Chains A and B, each alone.
Chain A
Protein backbone atom coordinates (compact mmCIF):
# COMPACT_ATOMS: atom_id res chain seq x y z
CA UNK A 1 0.00 0.00 0.00
CA UNK A 2 2.91 2.30 0.84
CA UNK A 3 4.40 1.90 -2.64
CA UNK A 4 1.02 2.53 -4.25
CA UNK A 5 0.59 5.77 -2.34
CA UNK A 6 4.05 7.07 -3.14
CA UNK A 7 3.76 5.87 -6.74
CA UNK A 8 0.53 7.73 -7.28
CA UNK A 9 1.89 10.81 -5.56
CA UNK A 10 4.92 10.70 -7.87
CA UNK A 11 2.63 10.67 -10.90
CA UNK A 12 0.55 13.57 -9.61
CA UNK A 13 3.53 15.64 -8.46
CA UNK A 14 5.03 15.49 -11.94
CA UNK A 15 1.86 17.10 -13.24
CA UNK A 16 1.38 19.59 -10.42
CA UNK A 17 4.25 21.72 -9.17
CA UNK A 18 2.27 22.68 -6.09
CA UNK A 19 2.71 19.20 -4.64
CA UNK A 20 5.47 18.93 -2.05
CA UNK A 21 6.49 15.83 -0.09
CA UNK A 22 8.26 16.33 3.24
CA UNK A 23 9.59 13.29 5.05
CA UNK A 24 10.70 13.11 8.63
CA UNK A 25 13.82 11.21 7.58
CA UNK A 26 11.93 8.00 6.87
CA UNK A 27 11.05 6.08 3.73
CA UNK A 28 14.37 4.45 2.89
CA UNK A 29 14.04 2.98 -0.60
CA UNK A 30 10.35 3.85 -0.77
CA UNK A 31 10.77 7.48 -1.78
CA UNK A 32 13.59 7.00 -4.32
CA UNK A 33 11.50 7.31 -7.44
CA UNK A 34 9.73 10.38 -6.11
CA UNK A 35 13.06 11.98 -5.21
CA UNK A 36 14.46 11.29 -8.64
CA UNK A 37 11.48 12.52 -10.60
CA UNK A 38 10.41 15.41 -8.35
CA UNK A 39 13.65 16.54 -6.75
CA UNK A 40 12.49 20.14 -6.35
CA UNK A 41 9.31 19.00 -4.67
CA UNK A 42 10.99 16.83 -2.06
CA UNK A 43 12.26 17.85 1.36
CA UNK A 44 13.79 15.75 4.09
CA UNK A 45 13.01 17.71 7.24
CA UNK A 46 15.22 15.47 9.32
CA UNK A 47 14.09 13.81 12.52
CA UNK A 48 12.02 16.82 13.51
CA UNK A 49 8.31 16.23 13.12
CA UNK A 50 7.17 19.41 14.84
CA UNK A 51 9.09 21.53 12.39
CA UNK A 52 8.11 19.25 9.51
CA UNK A 53 4.47 20.03 10.25
CA UNK A 54 5.08 23.73 10.85
CA UNK A 55 7.00 24.03 7.60
CA UNK A 56 4.28 22.08 5.81
CA UNK A 57 1.70 24.54 7.13
CA UNK A 58 3.75 27.54 6.08
CA UNK A 59 4.18 26.15 2.58
CA UNK A 60 0.51 25.21 2.37
CA UNK A 61 -0.50 28.73 3.37
CA UNK A 62 1.56 29.88 0.39
CA UNK A 63 -0.54 27.80 -1.98
CA UNK A 64 1.22 24.47 -1.99
CA UNK A 65 -0.24 21.00 -1.43
CA UNK A 66 2.06 19.56 1.18
CA UNK A 67 2.33 15.90 2.18
CA UNK A 68 4.17 14.96 5.35
CA UNK A 69 5.45 11.41 5.59
CA UNK A 70 6.58 9.26 8.48
CA UNK A 71 5.70 6.22 10.56
CA UNK A 72 2.45 5.97 12.54
CA UNK A 73 2.79 8.10 15.63
CA UNK A 74 5.60 10.36 14.46
CA UNK A 75 3.78 12.61 11.95
CA UNK A 76 0.64 12.56 14.12
CA UNK A 77 1.17 12.43 17.86
CA UNK A 78 4.70 13.79 18.07
CA UNK A 79 3.55 17.00 16.42
CA UNK A 80 -0.09 16.93 17.43
CA UNK A 81 -0.23 20.57 18.45
CA UNK A 82 1.33 21.68 15.17
CA UNK A 83 -1.39 19.70 13.40
CA UNK A 84 -4.09 21.21 15.60
CA UNK A 85 -3.02 24.86 15.90
CA UNK A 86 -1.13 25.33 12.64
CA UNK A 87 -2.49 22.99 9.98
CA UNK A 88 -6.08 22.38 11.09
CA UNK A 89 -6.95 25.74 12.65
CA UNK A 90 -5.76 27.51 9.52
CA UNK A 91 -7.39 24.85 7.33
CA UNK A 92 -4.05 24.53 5.57
CA UNK A 93 -3.60 22.12 2.70
CA UNK A 94 -1.49 19.66 4.67
CA UNK A 95 -1.85 15.91 4.10
CA UNK A 96 -0.40 13.55 6.64
CA UNK A 97 0.79 10.21 5.28
CA UNK A 98 1.44 7.74 8.06
CA UNK A 99 2.84 4.35 7.15
CA UNK A 100 2.60 1.49 9.61
CA UNK A 101 -1.08 1.72 10.51
CA UNK A 102 -2.09 -0.46 13.45
CA UNK A 103 0.29 -3.38 13.97
CA UNK A 104 1.99 -3.10 10.56
CA UNK A 105 5.31 -2.76 12.40
CA UNK A 106 4.30 -5.20 15.12
CA UNK A 107 7.78 -6.51 15.87
CA UNK A 108 9.20 -3.03 16.40
CA UNK A 109 7.34 -2.51 19.63
CA UNK A 110 4.77 -0.20 21.16
CA UNK A 111 6.42 3.01 19.89
CA UNK A 112 5.69 1.85 16.35
CA UNK A 113 2.16 0.56 16.92
CA UNK A 114 -0.30 3.18 15.65
CA UNK A 115 -3.31 2.40 17.75
CA UNK A 116 -4.80 5.75 18.71
CA UNK A 117 -4.16 7.70 15.49
CA UNK A 118 -7.67 7.43 14.07
CA UNK A 119 -9.37 8.68 17.20
CA UNK A 120 -6.95 11.52 17.87
CA UNK A 121 -6.91 12.73 14.26
CA UNK A 122 -10.69 12.38 14.13
CA UNK A 123 -11.12 14.77 17.03
CA UNK A 124 -9.52 17.65 15.14
CA UNK A 125 -11.89 20.03 13.32
CA UNK A 126 -11.26 20.34 9.56
CA UNK A 127 -9.40 17.03 9.50
CA UNK A 128 -10.55 14.19 7.25
CA UNK A 129 -9.44 10.70 8.25
CA UNK A 130 -9.00 7.93 5.71
CA UNK A 131 -7.90 4.32 6.22
CA UNK A 132 -7.90 2.50 2.86
CA UNK A 133 -8.19 -1.25 2.77
CA UNK A 134 -6.20 -2.05 -0.36
CA UNK A 135 -3.30 -0.54 -2.33
CA UNK A 136 -5.49 0.31 -5.32
CA UNK A 137 -7.88 2.14 -3.03
CA UNK A 138 -5.05 4.02 -1.41
CA UNK A 139 -4.10 5.33 -4.86
CA UNK A 140 -7.62 6.67 -5.29
CA UNK A 141 -7.43 8.22 -1.84
CA UNK A 142 -4.26 10.07 -2.87
CA UNK A 143 -6.21 11.59 -5.76
CA UNK A 144 -8.79 12.79 -3.27
CA UNK A 145 -6.12 14.22 -0.96
CA UNK A 146 -4.73 16.32 -3.80
CA UNK A 147 -8.16 17.55 -4.83
CA UNK A 148 -9.52 18.27 -1.36
CA UNK A 149 -8.49 21.69 -0.02
CA UNK A 150 -7.73 21.13 3.64
CA UNK A 151 -5.99 18.86 6.10
CA UNK A 152 -6.29 15.08 5.70
CA UNK A 153 -4.85 12.07 7.43
CA UNK A 154 -4.11 8.94 5.40
CA UNK A 155 -3.40 5.80 7.38
CA UNK A 156 -1.27 3.44 5.33
CA UNK A 157 -1.46 -0.22 6.25
CA UNK A 158 0.98 -2.99 5.47
CA UNK A 159 -1.84 -5.48 4.98
CA UNK A 160 -4.64 -5.33 2.47
CA UNK A 161 -8.16 -6.68 2.16
CA UNK A 162 -7.26 -8.44 -1.09
CA UNK A 163 -10.28 -7.13 -2.97
CA UNK A 164 -10.33 -6.35 -6.66
CA UNK A 165 -10.93 -2.74 -7.64
CA UNK A 166 -14.45 -2.21 -9.01
CA UNK A 167 -14.83 -0.40 -12.30
CA UNK A 168 -16.41 2.52 -10.52
CA UNK A 169 -16.77 3.75 -6.94
CA UNK A 170 -13.69 2.14 -5.47
CA UNK A 171 -13.29 5.13 -3.23
CA UNK A 172 -15.53 8.07 -2.59
CA UNK A 173 -14.58 10.19 0.39
CA UNK A 174 -17.19 10.03 3.09
CA UNK A 175 -18.98 7.08 1.51
CA UNK A 176 -19.02 3.52 2.77
CA UNK A 177 -18.95 0.57 0.39
CA UNK A 178 -21.42 -2.18 1.12
CA UNK A 179 -19.52 -5.29 0.10
CA UNK A 180 -22.24 -7.74 1.11
CA UNK A 181 -25.51 -7.69 2.96
CA UNK A 182 -26.61 -10.03 5.73
CA UNK A 183 -29.79 -10.36 7.70
CA UNK A 184 -28.30 -10.91 11.16
CA UNK A 185 -25.12 -8.89 11.38
CA UNK A 186 -23.33 -6.02 9.68
CA UNK A 187 -19.58 -5.97 10.10
CA UNK A 188 -18.07 -2.55 9.50
CA UNK A 189 -14.32 -2.46 8.97
CA UNK A 190 -11.63 0.04 7.98
CA UNK A 191 -8.12 -0.64 6.73
CA UNK A 192 -6.41 -3.89 5.76
CA UNK A 193 -8.12 -5.69 8.61
CA UNK A 194 -11.18 -5.73 6.35
CA UNK A 195 -9.72 -9.06 5.15
CA UNK A 196 -10.51 -10.50 8.58
CA UNK A 197 -14.06 -9.13 8.38
CA UNK A 198 -14.66 -10.82 5.03
CA UNK A 199 -13.24 -14.10 6.27
CA UNK A 200 -15.32 -13.83 9.44
CA UNK A 201 -18.50 -13.26 7.43
CA UNK A 202 -17.78 -16.50 5.52
CA UNK A 203 -17.11 -18.29 8.78
CA UNK A 204 -20.36 -17.05 10.28
CA UNK A 205 -22.29 -18.29 7.28
CA UNK A 206 -21.14 -21.81 8.15
CA UNK A 207 -22.43 -21.24 11.66
CA UNK A 208 -25.84 -20.17 10.38
CA UNK A 209 -25.35 -16.45 10.93
CA UNK A 210 -25.98 -14.15 7.99
CA UNK A 211 -23.36 -11.37 8.09
CA UNK A 212 -22.77 -8.55 5.66
CA UNK A 213 -19.57 -6.51 5.36
CA UNK A 214 -19.31 -2.74 5.00
CA UNK A 215 -16.08 -0.98 4.28
CA UNK A 216 -15.74 2.42 6.00
CA UNK A 217 -12.52 3.72 4.48
CA UNK A 218 -13.39 7.28 5.49
CA UNK A 219 -13.46 7.27 9.25
CA UNK A 220 -14.17 11.00 9.23
CA UNK A 221 -16.55 12.22 8.03
CA UNK A 222 -18.14 8.85 8.71
CA UNK A 223 -20.97 7.75 6.42
CA UNK A 224 -23.95 8.28 8.73
CA UNK A 225 -26.50 7.12 6.15
CA UNK A 226 -24.71 3.82 5.60
CA UNK A 227 -24.59 3.16 9.34
CA UNK A 228 -28.27 3.97 9.79
CA UNK A 229 -29.22 1.84 6.80
CA UNK A 230 -27.31 -1.09 8.28
CA UNK A 231 -28.91 -0.50 11.67
CA UNK A 232 -32.34 -0.73 10.06
CA UNK A 233 -31.46 -4.05 8.40
CA UNK A 234 -29.81 -5.97 11.24
CA UNK A 235 -30.01 -6.13 15.03
CA UNK A 236 -26.25 -6.36 15.63
CA UNK A 237 -23.48 -4.17 14.27
CA UNK A 238 -19.86 -5.13 14.68
CA UNK A 239 -17.00 -2.69 14.11
CA UNK A 240 -13.50 -3.99 13.44
CA UNK A 241 -10.37 -1.86 13.49
CA UNK A 242 -6.68 -2.40 14.15
CA UNK A 243 -6.85 0.42 16.63
CA UNK A 244 -8.07 1.21 20.11
CA UNK A 245 -11.79 0.65 20.53
CA UNK A 246 -11.95 4.18 21.95
CA UNK A 247 -12.81 6.98 19.58
CA UNK A 248 -11.89 5.48 16.23
CA UNK A 249 -14.20 3.62 13.85
CA UNK A 250 -16.07 1.93 16.69
CA UNK A 251 -16.43 5.23 18.47
CA UNK A 252 -17.71 6.97 15.37
CA UNK A 253 -20.29 4.25 14.74
CA UNK A 254 -21.33 4.25 18.41
CA UNK A 255 -21.98 8.00 18.27
CA UNK A 256 -24.18 7.64 15.20
CA UNK A 257 -26.18 4.72 16.62
CA UNK A 258 -26.69 6.37 19.99
CA UNK A 259 -27.62 9.78 18.67
CA UNK A 260 -30.16 8.36 16.25
CA UNK A 261 -31.72 6.13 18.87
CA UNK A 262 -30.95 2.96 16.94
CA UNK A 263 -31.86 -0.18 18.78
CA UNK A 264 -29.07 -2.14 17.06
CA UNK A 265 -26.56 -3.62 19.46
CA UNK A 266 -22.95 -2.60 18.85
CA UNK A 267 -19.88 -4.79 19.33
CA UNK A 268 -16.59 -2.91 19.00
CA UNK A 269 -13.67 -5.14 18.09
CA UNK A 270 -10.18 -3.68 18.32
CA UNK A 271 -7.48 -3.10 20.85
CA UNK A 272 -8.94 -2.74 24.33
CA UNK A 273 -7.80 0.19 26.46
CA UNK A 274 -4.22 -1.09 26.79
CA UNK A 275 -0.81 -0.54 25.24
CA UNK A 276 0.19 -3.37 22.95
CA UNK A 277 3.39 -4.64 24.50
CA UNK A 278 3.60 -8.02 22.82
CA UNK A 279 6.16 -8.61 20.06
CA UNK A 280 4.86 -10.14 16.88
CA UNK A 281 3.80 -9.81 13.28
CA UNK A 282 0.64 -7.99 12.30
CA UNK A 283 -1.10 -11.35 11.93
CA UNK A 284 0.19 -12.56 15.28
CA UNK A 285 -0.92 -9.44 17.10
CA UNK A 286 -4.38 -9.50 15.51
CA UNK A 287 -4.73 -12.98 16.88
CA UNK A 288 -3.25 -12.08 20.27
CA UNK A 289 -5.54 -9.12 20.74
CA UNK A 290 -8.62 -10.99 19.48
CA UNK A 291 -9.38 -9.09 16.31
CA UNK A 292 -8.65 -11.72 13.65
CA UNK A 293 -11.36 -13.58 11.74
CA UNK A 294 -11.71 -16.34 14.33
CA UNK A 295 -12.11 -13.82 17.13
CA UNK A 296 -14.63 -11.83 15.13
CA UNK A 297 -16.66 -15.01 14.54
CA UNK A 298 -16.54 -15.94 18.19
CA UNK A 299 -17.51 -12.53 19.53
CA UNK A 300 -20.20 -12.06 16.90
CA UNK A 301 -21.79 -15.41 17.65
CA UNK A 302 -21.86 -14.54 21.33
CA UNK A 303 -23.53 -11.23 20.57
CA UNK A 304 -26.17 -12.85 18.38
CA UNK A 305 -26.89 -15.43 21.04
CA UNK A 306 -27.17 -12.80 23.78
Chain B
Protein backbone atom coordinates (compact mmCIF):
# COMPACT_ATOMS: atom_id res chain seq x y z
CA UNK B 1 0.00 0.00 0.00
CA UNK B 2 2.74 2.35 1.02
CA UNK B 3 4.72 1.32 -2.01
CA UNK B 4 1.79 2.19 -4.24
CA UNK B 5 1.52 5.58 -2.62
CA UNK B 6 5.20 6.23 -3.30
CA UNK B 7 4.84 5.19 -6.91
CA UNK B 8 1.86 7.43 -7.34
CA UNK B 9 3.81 10.28 -5.76
CA UNK B 10 6.66 9.78 -8.22
CA UNK B 11 4.33 9.73 -11.21
CA UNK B 12 2.67 12.90 -10.00
CA UNK B 13 6.01 14.55 -9.39
CA UNK B 14 7.18 13.73 -12.92
CA UNK B 15 4.00 15.28 -14.34
CA UNK B 16 4.41 18.38 -12.21
CA UNK B 17 8.05 18.79 -13.29
CA UNK B 18 7.05 18.52 -16.96
CA UNK B 19 4.22 21.00 -16.59
CA UNK B 20 6.43 23.44 -14.68
CA UNK B 21 9.34 23.37 -17.11
CA UNK B 22 7.06 24.12 -20.03
CA UNK B 23 5.56 26.98 -18.04
CA UNK B 24 8.96 28.27 -16.91
CA UNK B 25 10.56 28.19 -20.36
CA UNK B 26 7.42 29.83 -21.77
CA UNK B 27 7.43 32.66 -19.22
CA UNK B 28 11.18 33.12 -19.48
CA UNK B 29 11.19 32.71 -23.28
CA UNK B 30 14.10 30.43 -22.55
CA UNK B 31 15.76 27.42 -24.16
CA UNK B 32 16.46 23.84 -23.12
CA UNK B 33 12.88 22.68 -22.57
CA UNK B 34 13.74 19.44 -24.40
CA UNK B 35 16.71 18.82 -22.11
CA UNK B 36 14.57 19.44 -19.03
CA UNK B 37 11.71 17.17 -20.15
CA UNK B 38 14.28 14.48 -20.87
CA UNK B 39 15.22 14.18 -17.18
CA UNK B 40 11.79 14.70 -15.56
CA UNK B 41 11.35 11.01 -14.74
CA UNK B 42 14.92 10.62 -13.46
CA UNK B 43 14.42 13.57 -11.11
CA UNK B 44 11.00 12.37 -10.01
CA UNK B 45 12.38 8.98 -8.97
CA UNK B 46 15.38 10.57 -7.26
CA UNK B 47 13.47 13.24 -5.32
CA UNK B 48 10.37 11.10 -4.89
CA UNK B 49 11.98 8.08 -3.30
CA UNK B 50 15.74 7.68 -3.62
CA UNK B 51 17.46 10.77 -2.28
CA UNK B 52 17.70 11.01 1.49
CA UNK B 53 17.10 14.74 1.67
CA UNK B 54 15.00 16.90 3.94
CA UNK B 55 13.29 20.02 2.56
CA UNK B 56 13.09 21.40 6.10
CA UNK B 57 16.82 21.00 6.56
CA UNK B 58 18.41 21.22 3.09
CA UNK B 59 21.98 21.40 4.44
CA UNK B 60 21.68 18.47 6.84
CA UNK B 61 25.10 16.85 7.13
CA UNK B 62 24.05 13.30 6.29
CA UNK B 63 21.87 14.16 3.30
CA UNK B 64 22.50 12.56 -0.05
CA UNK B 65 24.11 14.96 -2.49
CA UNK B 66 22.60 15.48 -5.94
CA UNK B 67 24.48 17.56 -8.50
CA UNK B 68 23.06 18.52 -11.87
CA UNK B 69 26.08 18.71 -14.14
CA UNK B 70 23.95 19.44 -17.22
CA UNK B 71 23.11 22.79 -15.68
CA UNK B 72 21.11 23.94 -18.72
CA UNK B 73 18.27 21.70 -17.51
CA UNK B 74 18.14 23.69 -14.28
CA UNK B 75 14.43 24.43 -14.71
CA UNK B 76 13.69 20.76 -14.09
CA UNK B 77 15.68 20.72 -10.85
CA UNK B 78 14.07 23.92 -9.60
CA UNK B 79 10.69 22.35 -10.36
CA UNK B 80 11.61 19.09 -8.61
CA UNK B 81 12.76 21.04 -5.55
CA UNK B 82 9.69 23.28 -5.45
CA UNK B 83 7.32 20.33 -5.84
CA UNK B 84 9.25 18.49 -3.10
CA UNK B 85 8.86 21.29 -0.59
CA UNK B 86 12.27 22.96 -0.78
CA UNK B 87 10.76 26.28 -1.84
CA UNK B 88 7.32 27.68 -2.61
CA UNK B 89 5.99 26.60 -5.98
CA UNK B 90 5.20 30.15 -7.02
CA UNK B 91 8.92 30.96 -6.98
CA UNK B 92 9.22 28.98 -10.22
CA UNK B 93 7.56 31.84 -12.10
CA UNK B 94 10.70 33.88 -11.40
CA UNK B 95 12.86 31.59 -13.53
CA UNK B 96 14.87 33.63 -16.02
CA UNK B 97 13.30 36.91 -14.85
CA UNK B 98 15.25 40.07 -14.04
CA UNK B 99 16.63 40.01 -10.51
CA UNK B 100 15.68 36.36 -10.01
CA UNK B 101 17.70 33.73 -8.16
CA UNK B 102 16.62 31.07 -10.65
CA UNK B 103 19.12 31.46 -13.47
CA UNK B 104 18.73 29.48 -16.66
CA UNK B 105 21.63 27.27 -15.63
CA UNK B 106 21.19 25.80 -12.20
CA UNK B 107 22.34 28.01 -9.32
CA UNK B 108 23.00 27.24 -5.66
CA UNK B 109 22.89 30.90 -4.59
CA UNK B 110 19.82 31.39 -2.48
CA UNK B 111 18.20 28.22 -3.81
CA UNK B 112 17.78 25.61 -1.05
CA UNK B 113 18.63 22.08 -2.13
CA UNK B 114 21.02 22.94 -4.96
CA UNK B 115 24.51 21.70 -4.11
CA UNK B 116 26.44 23.17 -7.01
CA UNK B 117 26.00 25.85 -9.63
CA UNK B 118 26.79 24.54 -13.07
CA UNK B 119 26.27 25.63 -16.63
CA UNK B 120 29.62 25.00 -18.21
CA UNK B 121 29.63 21.30 -19.01
CA UNK B 122 32.11 18.85 -17.55
CA UNK B 123 32.24 20.31 -14.05
CA UNK B 124 29.73 18.38 -11.95
CA UNK B 125 31.29 14.95 -11.95
CA UNK B 126 34.69 16.17 -10.72
CA UNK B 127 33.10 18.01 -7.80
CA UNK B 128 30.80 15.05 -7.07
CA UNK B 129 33.85 12.82 -7.06
CA UNK B 130 35.52 15.09 -4.52
CA UNK B 131 32.37 14.97 -2.37
CA UNK B 132 32.33 11.18 -2.56
CA UNK B 133 36.02 10.98 -1.70
CA UNK B 134 35.46 13.30 1.27
CA UNK B 135 32.57 11.12 2.49
CA UNK B 136 34.86 8.09 2.39
CA UNK B 137 37.58 9.88 4.35
CA UNK B 138 35.04 11.19 6.84
CA UNK B 139 33.46 7.73 7.11
CA UNK B 140 30.01 9.05 6.30
CA UNK B 141 27.31 6.97 4.66
CA UNK B 142 25.48 9.36 2.40
CA UNK B 143 25.60 8.94 -1.37
CA UNK B 144 26.53 11.37 -4.11
CA UNK B 145 24.59 11.46 -7.39
CA UNK B 146 25.60 13.42 -10.45
CA UNK B 147 23.43 13.80 -13.55
CA UNK B 148 25.22 14.41 -16.84
CA UNK B 149 24.04 14.87 -20.39
CA UNK B 150 25.28 12.71 -23.22
CA UNK B 151 26.76 15.61 -25.17
CA UNK B 152 28.52 16.63 -22.00
CA UNK B 153 30.51 13.42 -22.15
CA UNK B 154 32.50 15.06 -24.96
CA UNK B 155 34.27 17.02 -22.22
CA UNK B 156 37.59 15.41 -21.30
CA UNK B 157 37.31 16.57 -17.70
CA UNK B 158 34.59 13.94 -17.16
CA UNK B 159 36.95 11.18 -18.17
CA UNK B 160 39.53 12.45 -15.70
CA UNK B 161 36.90 12.14 -12.98
CA UNK B 162 35.80 8.74 -14.28
CA UNK B 163 39.39 7.49 -13.96
CA UNK B 164 39.75 8.99 -10.51
CA UNK B 165 36.48 7.66 -9.08
CA UNK B 166 37.27 4.11 -10.17
CA UNK B 167 40.84 4.29 -8.89
CA UNK B 168 39.60 5.47 -5.51
CA UNK B 169 36.82 2.87 -5.44
CA UNK B 170 34.11 5.43 -4.82
CA UNK B 171 31.14 3.09 -4.61
CA UNK B 172 29.19 5.87 -2.88
CA UNK B 173 29.11 7.77 -6.18
CA UNK B 174 26.49 7.33 -8.90
CA UNK B 175 26.84 9.03 -12.26
CA UNK B 176 23.59 9.23 -14.20
CA UNK B 177 23.71 9.95 -17.91
CA UNK B 178 20.71 11.36 -19.70
CA UNK B 179 21.35 9.56 -22.99
CA UNK B 180 18.72 11.13 -25.23
CA UNK B 181 21.05 10.89 -28.25
CA UNK B 182 20.65 14.52 -29.26
CA UNK B 183 22.99 17.37 -28.44
CA UNK B 184 22.97 21.05 -29.21
CA UNK B 185 23.26 21.06 -32.98
CA UNK B 186 22.76 17.49 -34.09
CA UNK B 187 22.39 13.88 -32.97
CA UNK B 188 25.19 12.66 -30.72
CA UNK B 189 26.08 9.98 -33.26
CA UNK B 190 26.72 12.67 -35.88
CA UNK B 191 28.71 14.91 -33.53
CA UNK B 192 31.13 12.82 -31.49
CA UNK B 193 29.85 9.29 -31.29
CA UNK B 194 29.85 7.84 -27.78
CA UNK B 195 29.25 4.18 -28.64
CA UNK B 196 30.05 1.70 -27.33
CA UNK B 197 29.11 3.95 -24.45
CA UNK B 198 28.42 1.50 -21.63
CA UNK B 199 31.55 -0.41 -22.53
CA UNK B 200 33.60 2.75 -22.13
CA UNK B 201 32.41 3.23 -18.55
CA UNK B 202 32.92 -0.47 -17.84
CA UNK B 203 36.43 -0.35 -19.26
CA UNK B 204 37.14 2.56 -16.91
CA UNK B 205 36.13 0.34 -13.98
CA UNK B 206 32.55 1.40 -13.29
CA UNK B 207 29.53 -0.71 -12.45
CA UNK B 208 27.16 0.13 -15.32
CA UNK B 209 23.42 -0.34 -15.60
CA UNK B 210 21.43 0.66 -18.68
CA UNK B 211 17.79 1.54 -18.22
CA UNK B 212 14.80 3.13 -19.88
CA UNK B 213 15.11 6.59 -18.39
CA UNK B 214 11.36 7.09 -18.40
CA UNK B 215 10.46 3.81 -16.70
CA UNK B 216 10.15 4.53 -13.00
CA UNK B 217 10.49 0.90 -11.98
CA UNK B 218 13.64 0.53 -14.09
CA UNK B 219 15.12 3.70 -12.63
CA UNK B 220 14.23 2.67 -9.10
CA UNK B 221 15.91 -0.70 -9.55
CA UNK B 222 19.00 0.88 -11.09
CA UNK B 223 19.45 3.38 -8.28
CA UNK B 224 18.76 0.72 -5.67
CA UNK B 225 21.50 -1.34 -7.32
CA UNK B 226 23.91 1.38 -6.36
CA UNK B 227 22.77 1.52 -2.76
CA UNK B 228 24.90 -1.24 -1.27
CA UNK B 229 28.62 -1.32 -1.86
CA UNK B 230 28.79 -2.59 -5.39
CA UNK B 231 32.12 -4.31 -5.29
CA UNK B 232 33.84 -1.03 -4.56
CA UNK B 233 33.10 0.32 -8.00
CA UNK B 234 31.44 3.65 -8.67
CA UNK B 235 28.04 3.29 -10.32
CA UNK B 236 26.91 4.56 -13.68
CA UNK B 237 23.27 4.52 -14.68
CA UNK B 238 22.91 5.15 -18.40
CA UNK B 239 19.37 6.32 -18.94
CA UNK B 240 18.07 5.87 -22.46
CA UNK B 241 15.75 8.79 -22.79
CA UNK B 242 13.77 10.79 -25.30
CA UNK B 243 14.61 14.43 -25.56
CA UNK B 244 11.45 16.49 -25.07
CA UNK B 245 9.64 13.48 -23.55
CA UNK B 246 5.96 14.09 -22.86
CA UNK B 247 5.26 16.67 -25.56
CA UNK B 248 4.94 14.76 -28.80
CA UNK B 249 6.12 17.48 -31.17
CA UNK B 250 9.18 18.18 -29.04
CA UNK B 251 10.23 14.56 -28.81
CA UNK B 252 13.47 13.48 -30.49
CA UNK B 253 13.89 16.90 -32.03
CA UNK B 254 17.11 18.88 -32.26
CA UNK B 255 14.97 21.99 -32.68
CA UNK B 256 13.68 21.83 -29.12
CA UNK B 257 17.11 22.08 -27.55
CA UNK B 258 16.91 25.83 -28.07
CA UNK B 259 13.35 26.63 -29.18
CA UNK B 260 11.10 28.18 -26.57
CA UNK B 261 7.44 27.21 -26.26
CA UNK B 262 5.30 30.19 -27.30
CA UNK B 263 1.89 30.82 -28.86
CA UNK B 264 0.11 27.81 -30.34
CA UNK B 265 3.02 25.55 -29.53
CA UNK B 266 2.82 26.48 -25.86
CA UNK B 267 -0.95 25.91 -25.84
CA UNK B 268 -0.55 22.54 -27.52
CA UNK B 269 2.20 21.47 -25.10
CA UNK B 270 0.12 22.42 -22.07
CA UNK B 271 -2.94 20.65 -23.46
CA UNK B 272 -0.99 17.46 -24.10
CA UNK B 273 0.60 17.46 -20.65
CA UNK B 274 -2.66 18.26 -18.89
CA UNK B 275 -4.42 15.44 -20.70
CA UNK B 276 -1.64 12.91 -20.15
Contact = CB atoms under 8 A, between A and B. Distances in A.
B123 A86 contact: yes
Contacts, number: 91
B126 interface: yes
B126 A86 contact: yes
B119 A59 contact: no
A301 interface: no
B135 interface: yes
Contact of A46 (B122, B135, B163): B163
A43 B133 CA distance: 10
B127 interface: yes
A89 interface: yes
B135 A55 contact: no
A274 B94 CA distance: 47
B129 interface: yes
B98 interface: no
Nearest to B135: A62
A48 B160 contact: yes
A225 interface: no
Contacts of B128: 58
Nearest to B118: A85
Contacts of B137: 20, 40, 59, 64
Contact of B129 (A20, A51, A60, A81): A51
A23 interface: no
Given A64-B134, A89-B117, A90-B108, A50 B157 contact: yes
A61 B131 contact: yes
A240 interface: no
Contact of B156 (A50, A55, A82): A50
Nearest to A45: B164
Contacts of A90: 108, 116-117
B127 A61 contact: yes
Contacts of A46: 160, 163-164, 167
Contacts of B108: 90
A53 B130 CA distance: 9
A86 B116 CA distance: 8
Interface in B125-169: 125-135, 137-138, 156-157, 160-161, 163-164, 167
Contacts of A50: 122, 126, 156-157, 160
Main secondary structure of the interface of B (DSSP, over half): helix
Contacts of A82: 123, 126, 157
Interface in A216-272: none
Contacts of A51: 126, 129, 157, 160-161, 163-164
A81 B117 contact: no
B126 A59 contact: no
Nearest to A89: B117
B116 A55 contact: no
A54 B133 contact: no
A285 interface: no
Interface in A130-170: none
A54 B131 CA distance: 10
A52 to B, nearest CB: 8
Interface string A55-95: 11111111110100000000000000110011001100000
A45 B138 CA distance: 19
Contacts of A40: 137
A38 to B, nearest CB: 12
Nearest to A47: B160
B156 A58 contact: no
Given A46-B167, A60-B130, 6 more contacts: A54-B130, A55-B164, A58-B129, A59-B134, A61-B130, A62-B138
Interface of A: 20, 40, 43, 45-46, 48, 50-51, 53-64, 66, 81-82, 85-86, 89-90
27 contacts: A20-B137, A45-B164, A48-B160, A50-B156, A51-B126, A51-B129, A51-B160, A51-B163, A51-B164, A54-B130, A55-B126, A55-B164, A57-B127, A58-B133, A58-B134, A59-B133, A61-B115, A61-B127, A62-B130, A62-B135, A82-B123, A82-B157, A85-B120, A85-B123, A86-B126, A90-B108, A90-B117
